[in-house]
Amino acid sequence: MFRPLTRAPDHPALELEILEWWEERGIFAKLREQNADGPIFSFVDGPVTANRMVLGVHTAWGRTLKDVFQRYKALRGYHQRYQNGFDCQGLWIEVGVERELGLNSKREIEEYGLAEFARRCRDVVVRSSRALTEGSIRLGQWMDWGNDYFTFSDTNIEYIWRFLGLVHERGWLYLGHRSTEWCPRCGTSLSQHELTQAGVYQERSDPSLYVRFPLLDRTEESLVVWTTTPWTLPANVAAAVKPDAEYGRRESGEWVATARYPDERFDRRALGEELVGLRYRGPFDDLGPGSEVDHRVIPWEDVSLEEGTGIVHIAPGAGQEDFELGRLHDLPVLSPVDEAGRFYDSYGWLHGLSTSEAADQIVGRLAEQGYLLEAGAYLHRYPHCWRCDTPLIWRVTDDWLISVEEVRQSLLDANATVEWIPAYMGKRMDDWLRNMGDWNISRRRYYGLPLPFYPCACGQLNVVRSKAELLERASGPVDDLPELRRPWIDAIRIRCEACERDVERIPEVGDVWLDAGIVPFSTLGWKNPEYEPEGYATGAAKGLTAADLPDHAYWERWFPADWVSEMREQIRLWFYSQLFMSVALTGRAPFRKVLGYEKMLDEKGREMHSSWGNTIDAPDAFARMGADVMRWQFCAQPPDRNLLFGFGPAIEIKRKLLTLWNSVRFLVDYGNIAGFVPDYADLEAAPLGEDARPLDRWLVARTRAYLADATQALEDQLTHRLIEAFDEFVDDVSNWYIRRSRRRFWDEDEAAHQVLWHALVQGIRTIAPVLPFLAEHLWQIVVAEPCEDAPESVFLAGWPEAGEPDRALLAEIQEVRAIVALGHRARDGAGHKLRQPLRALVVEGAELALDHAGEIAEELRVKSVAFEPLAGTSVRAKPNLKLLGPRLGAKLPRLRDALAEGRFERLPDGRVRAEGHELQPEEVFVERAAPDGWALAEEGSLSVALDVRLDPELELEGRVYDLVHAVNTMRKEQGLAITDRIVLTLPDGGDLDRFLEWVKSETLAVEIEHGSELAVRKA
Ligand SMILES: [Zn+2]
Ligand SMILES: [Zn+2]
């Protein structure tokens, strides 16, 4: 006996039960044990930032894909690593703690104390990693929880030090003096790749100012510049013109590019090169720094004539291009603001103001002095800090950089060995590799990888490569170094290797992408001489994980990863930093295959923002739709398009899953009546006897074809193709096989039960990676419990082998189903419901379905089916008014009449000639029409005509079908079991007498009584 199924699955409840069952039975451990000697499939997890206290649905998407492919590979017998990773350092963590503590600047952090601040940061990681683990387990992700890697472990840090040592050895490391994007709130520069993250460029309104710079040697004349960053004006040192562009002088003496003002009159015109060298008074020469500058006009080819005035204000201390141009012309650099983006004291009345606070004052002062020509607002896309949303500024600073020039080609070569899915993401990586600048690795922050750089006055840059080396070279005793971290490490001074002087570490910490990029080395034991149990649990990671530090032989086995997967954004982030570090260390790519995917939006296609109230936390989704439904939603998504996630689509998915559920329930209910006991061996060899019926042979063929498609979809790493194939398969099982075979189940036909069981179980096995809970639940009911020798879990049963399907038979039934679908369409058009029998169907163009007239007749409830050319049809044409209206105008009505009256000629190329016009195929709708009393439907070369005329006999039969339907509905409403016999009460009158026996057999009535209204009661 099968355990009965409820009417519909309660996904959340069922999932919690299965989670507990897996845990009790140790199913995941058994699976790993079972595969321990299998071939290796190496997966490396990209770390999730441990700063949120709840799993987000974005994260759940990626985790689902990882889990689906790990489960699939496990079903195929692969030995795998299941190490989950947490990203634990950097601004994400720091900014969260600052908010919790109400700290608002770096000064406040330092006053708070770095040791305590570090403790709070670690505490965030501890709490977040617990919450994320809990959410991931609930999602159904099978990982080696408890052996996770944490990027703040000393081991991870030491591996990065080693990498930096090598980079230094090769001469790629340098201290750069340059202009860089800077977050004034976080007080640090950001790197190019950080600016590529989603949400960095936001629409923003800034002042739009037209400002006059008076020329020194030509009184009454001035240059007009345009700027949207008023705070940069006090740093102005030059004005740039395009040498070969024409400039004009207005009557007022103002110079602008003539191309920008084509309608204006100019009393003098000159080329830009004639203006070069002119000297002008700077707008803020009354403030200290500006007064010493000799402001002059310089040439610049790149001056834009698309916006502004064609004269560009240049402030090398406050703009990237300006800085480069300044180098070229040897211009002075005025740096007006400090790390916090506030004006230095030397800027007089501006001192202490932030760049935005200063804007108003600057505009006011310009107006007062008559320098301001026009002020407005300018809407543009402007970069913001990816972490704290503060608008960025440009500052000239000293940053540590890794030069990429020497390694660029090797990176491109390594990327060429990687298979990217979708392929365009690999091209994006190439573009990035070709165009990226040097890697800015230093951040002026606290909770991060301490850069092991100890510059010495003698010119030597000491780079420490390990904790042991640090302790050995320390110039004094080290008694307090719980972690390789600020503030403890800052107290350690070492001896310069060149001159023996004491030197100290630079205060900067490293870019977080170093932390994540080193993972394929630090977690796999690269160059580690001996396997160390729990050897990765060092520094801040101590007590949080029991992860081992394997030895180099282990690394050789597991590197490179066969597969990694993250969202597209990671091309320039994790995929890049991993690739860079791996190519530097080994010359090879760290992964063979990458599955990327696009962004998640809400179900209406909007970005998800907590301020808009449209974000969804995973626990909410677990409770309201269930993990399986979420996973289906993630997997149904082609990776090259944005996922529109929400509760709306979940309703549709539940409806689809109900079709599967109902099919299994049908098997369970009828199987129990028939006493059907499945045989596990039937899964291997399809359960077909010598004399198997065509429909059974078809279902076995259909199952095999589906298995082949499902396997291919997963091999191609395209889950949406698996979902589509599964959907169609379930529809075929439910809406073809079961519908066509009801009578046989009723008759307790063993073969029907066998092939249906076989099809459903194979379907369940293939969808198990996507729907682990539902699949496990159904496996228990239809396999593990009734079959003695079956594996206890669907995940211990391996992947089903697909035999070769009978393709000819499949094509045959496919055509039958196409004819039936057309028949339904024709019937719908005529307005007859399916219960109404009709006389005849004629099929034209069928080639394979000729032996299936009986099935087609039954499906469409027609009395005869003929395969022959349709007779008496005519061809009708109608104008496409949208196209022909504008083209023909007043001539249209005559053309329309001609088409309606059949006065047209069809040309061989699809065009139509009528009323002297030659019409393109898209300008006219040509369709065949059936003779009166017939309905016609066509698709491709297949056409059907359905006789839709009724006669009294047909109408009577229709009423009998209606009656049977009404009675069976009443049976269901009264909750009668499928096998319950009834007494049926029929209203008096009617002419149904000769159908009564048939009605009885269709409704399980043992007796018919006559009464005032239709009634059903249990006999
Ligand atoms: Zn910031
Ligand atoms: Zn030295």
| pLDDT for 922 beyond 90 | no
Distance 92 CA to ligand 1 centre (A): 10
Q: Return d(Cα 172, Cα 159) in angstroms, integer.
A: 18
Instruction: Give the pLDDT of residue 675.
Output: 95
Q: Which ligand is nearest to the CA of 501?
A: 2
**Alpha helical stretches, state H, 487-626:** 512-517, 519-522, 552-558, 574-586, 618-624
Per the listing, tokens 């007498």 go with: 993
Distance 428 CA to ligand 1 centre (A): 27
Distance 384 CA to ligand 1 centre (A): 8
Distance 343 CA to ligand 1 centre (A): 18
Can you tell me the mean pLDDT for 698-722? Answer: 97
Per the listing, tokens 């321990």 go with: 36
Q: Give, for 453, the enclosing helix (H) or strand (E).
A: strand 453-455
Between 646-655, 662-671, 679-688, the lowest mean confidence (pLDDT) is in 679-688
| pLDDT for 989 beyond 70 | no
- Bridge-based pairing of strands 912-914 and 905-906 is antiparallel
**276 by DSSP, 3-state: which?**
coil
Distance 27 CA to ligand 1 centre (A): 45
Distance 115 CA to ligand 2 centre (A): 29
Q: Return the number of other C-beta atoms located less than 10 Å from residue 514's C-beta.
A: 28
Q: Return d(Cα 387, Cα 172) in angstroms, integer.
A: 29
Over pLDDT 70: what percentage of the chain? 100
Distance 510 CA to ligand 2 centre (A): 23
Instruction: Give the pLDDT of residue 927.
Output: 80
Alpha carbon 116 to chain centroid distance?
A: 38
Distance 516 CA to ligand 1 centre (A): 20
Distance 748 CA to ligand 1 centre (A): 71
Instruction: Give the pLDDT of residue 906.
Output: 82
- DSSP state, residue 48: E
Which amino acid does the sequence have at 400? W
| pLDDT for 198 beyond 80 | no
Among 146, 135, 140, 167, CA closest to 59: 135
Average pLDDT for the chain:
93
For residue range 824-860, what is the model confidence (pLDDT) as tens digits? 999 988 888 889 999 999 999 999 999 999 999 999 9
Q: Residue 767: which residues within 8 A CB-CB, separation 6 or more?
A: 710, 722, 726, 775
- Bridge-based pairing of strands 564-567 and 600-602 is unpaired
Q: Return d(Cα 511, Cα 513) in angstroms, integer.
A: 5
Distance 197 CA to ligand 1 centre (A): 13
CA atoms within 13 A on the CB side of 271: 7
- Residue pair 311/240 in contact by the 8 Å Cβ criterion: yes
Q: Which ligand is nearest to the CA of 460?
A: 2
Distance 756 CA to ligand 1 centre (A): 60
Q: Taking the model in full, what pTM does it have?
A: 0.86
**394 by DSSP, 3-state: which?**
strand
| pLDDT for 593 beyond 90 | yes
| pLDDT for 37 beyond 90 | yes
Distances in Å between the alpha carbon of 791 and those of 503, 604, 679, 803?
65, 43, 13, 21
Point out which residues pair with 1017 in neighbouring strands.
983
Distance 462 CA to ligand 2 centre (A): 8
Can you tell me the mean pLDDT for 979-1008? Answer: 86
Q: Which ligand is nearest to the CA of 497?
A: 2
Distance 177 CA to ligand 2 centre (A): 22
Give me 847's structure tokens: 């080639």
- Residue pair 745/670 in contact by the 8 Å Cβ criterion: yes
Distance 168 CA to ligand 2 centre (A): 16
**319 by DSSP, 3-state: which?**
coil
Distance 512 CA to ligand 2 centre (A): 29
Distance 175 CA to ligand 2 centre (A): 17
**1005 by DSSP, 3-state: which?**
strand
| Long-range CB contact pairs, 621-625, < 8 A, 24+ | 621/57, 621/60, 621/647, 621/650, 622/12, 622/15, 622/138, 622/139, 623/12, 624/650, 625/11, 625/650, 625/653, 625/654
Q: Which ligand is nearest to the CA of 200?
A: 1
Q: Return the number of other C-beta atoms located less than 10 Å from residue 342's C-beta.
A: 20
Q: Return d(Cα 190, Cα 437) in angstroms, integer.
A: 13
Distance 765 CA to ligand 2 centre (A): 67
Distance 187 CA to ligand 1 centre (A): 7
Expressed in angstroms, the distance from the first to the final Cα of the chain is: 26
Instruction: Give the pLDDT of residue 4.
Output: 96
Q: Give, for 509, the enclosing helix (H) or strand (E).
A: strand 509-510
- DSSP state, residue 847: S
Q: Greater confidence, 446 or 91? A: 446
Which amino acid does the sequence have at 67? D
Q: Return d(Cα 283, Cα 977) in angstroms, integer.
A: 92
Distance 118 CA to ligand 1 centre (A): 19
| pLDDT for 561 beyond 90 | yes
Distance 90 CA to ligand 1 centre (A): 11
- Residue pair 559/524 in contact by the 8 Å Cβ criterion: yes
| pLDDT for 950 beyond 80 | yes
Among 365, 392, 373, 390, CA closest to 234: 365
Give me 438's structure tokens: 């040097």
Distance 53 CA to ligand 1 centre (A): 21
- Residue pair 106/340 in contact by the 8 Å Cβ criterion: yes
Can you tell me the mean pLDDT for 521-534? Answer: 98
Q: In this structure, which residues have their CB less than 5 angstroms from ion ligand 1?
A: 183, 185-186, 385, 388, 390
CA atoms within 13 A on the CB side of 75: 25
Q: Return the number of other C-beta atoms located less than 10 Å from residue 123's C-beta.
A: 12
CA atoms within 13 A on the CB side of 41: 21
Q: Return d(Cα 37, Cα 91) in angstroms, integer.
A: 42
Please, which pLDDT band fits residue 990 given cuts at 50, 70 and 90? low
Can you tell me the mean pLDDT for 130-156? Answer: 98
Distance 190 CA to ligand 1 centre (A): 9
For residue range 867-894, what is the model confidence (pLDDT) as tens digits? 999 888 888 888 888 888 888 888 888 9
Q: Return d(Cα 343, Cα 780) in angstroms, integer.
A: 70
Distance 107 CA to ligand 1 centre (A): 15
| pLDDT for 208 beyond 80 | yes
- Bridge-based pairing of strands 982-987 and 1005-1011 is parallel
Can you tell me the mean pLDDT for 183-192? Answer: 88
Q: Which ligand is nearest to the CA of 462?
A: 2
Q: Return d(Cα 984, Cα 961) in angstroms, integer.
A: 15
Distance 227 CA to ligand 1 centre (A): 24
Give me 273's structure tokens: 């090169």
Distance 182 CA to ligand 1 centre (A): 8
- Residue pair 554/524 in contact by the 8 Å Cβ criterion: yes
For residue range 349-404, what is the model confidence (pLDDT) as tens digits? 899 999 989 998 899 999 998 999 999 999 999 999 988 889 999 999 999 999 99
Between 241-245, 296-300, 839-843, 927-931, the lowest mean confidence (pLDDT) is in 927-931
Instruction: Give the pLDDT of residue 562.
Output: 98
- DSSP state, residue 183: E
Q: Which ligand is nearest to the CA of 444?
A: 1
CA atoms within 13 A on the CB side of 532: 16
Distance 492 CA to ligand 1 centre (A): 29
Q: Which ligand is nearest to the CA of 383?
A: 1
